[in-house]
Chain A
Amino acid sequence: DIQMTQSPSSVSASVGDRVTLTCRASQDISRWLAWYQQNPGKAPKLLIYAASSLQSGVPSRFSGSGSGTDFTLTISSLQPEDFATYYCQQANSFPRTFGQGTKVEIK
C-alpha cells in the first residue's frame, strides 16, 4: 500500500496568513493526488485534484502543486471558514489511501 504522510499534523495561523501544507507519498504517484477539506461533523469536500486542478466552486486562494512523491496545498490568505482539517489522498493505485490530516487552527 502507498503510505501518505502529511505535515505538520496541526498548524496555528491567523486570518490573512499564507499557509502551506505538505503531503508525501511513499512511492511515485505522478500527479494522482487530491486534497480535501473537512469541517467537524461534515463530510470531506474536494478542493484540488490531479495535484493542482482547482475543483469547481473552490476559491482561488487554494492552490496545489507537486508531482512524484512531494505535494503541497497552499492557502494564500487564510479566511475564517478555512479553519478545518485537510487530507491528501492518492489515486495512483488501490487501495486508495489518505494522509492522517493537518488541522488548521486559529492562532
Chain B
Amino acid sequence: QVQLVQSGAEVKKPGASVKVSCKASGYSFTDYYLDWVRQAPGQGLEWMGRINPDNGGTNYAQKFQGRVTMTRDTSISTVYMDLSRLRSDDTAVYYCALGESWFDPWGQGTLVTVSS
C-alpha cells in the first residue's frame, strides 16, 4: 500500500535550519507531487509548497519563499523539506502528503520544536 514515512522529531534553536525527510513506498515515486503541510500546536493546517519528484520542480507558498527548499532523491524515493532561519512560531508538526489536488495519504508527521 502507499505509505509515507517521515523522519523523527527535531529540536532546534532560533536561527537554525531543519531538514525533514519523507520516504515514499507502494507506488511509482515520480508519478505524483508531494506536498508539505504544517500544523502549529492547537492550530489549523497550512500548506507550504510542493515538489514534482519527476523533475524536481517546486512551487512554494509566498509566505515561505526564501526560507524553504524542497528537494528529492529518486534513488531512495525520498523528498526533503529544509526550513531555514527558524523562529519560535515555526514550532509545528510538519506533514508530507501525496496528491495532485487533494492529499492522500499523509505521512505520520514530524514535530519540529524551536526553542532557545
Contacts and interface: CB of A to CB of B under 8 A. Distances in A.
Interface of A: 32, 34, 36, 43-46, 49, 55, 87, 89, 91, 94-101
9 contacts: A34-B102, A36-B45, A36-B103, A89-B103, A91-B101, A94-B59, A94-B61, A97-B47, A98-B45
Most buried by A among B46, B63, B101, B108: B101
A43 B59 contact: no
Nearest to A94: B59
Given A94-B59, A94-B61, 16 more contacts: A43-B95, A43-B97, A43-B108, A44-B45, A45-B104, A46-B102, A49-B101, A49-B104, A89-B45, A89-B102, A89-B103, A95-B63, A96-B35, A98-B45, A98-B47, A101-B45
A97 B104 CA distance: 16
B62 A95 contact: yes
Contact of A43 (B44, B62, B102, B106): B106
A50 to B, nearest CB: 8
Interface of B: 35, 44-47, 59, 61-63, 95, 97, 101-109
A55 B47 CA distance: 21
A101 B108 CA distance: 19
Contacts, number: 51
A95 B64 CA distance: 11
Contact of B102 (A91, A100, A101): A91
Nearest to A53: B102
A79 B79 CA distance: 37
Contacts of A91: 101-102
A101 B104 contact: no
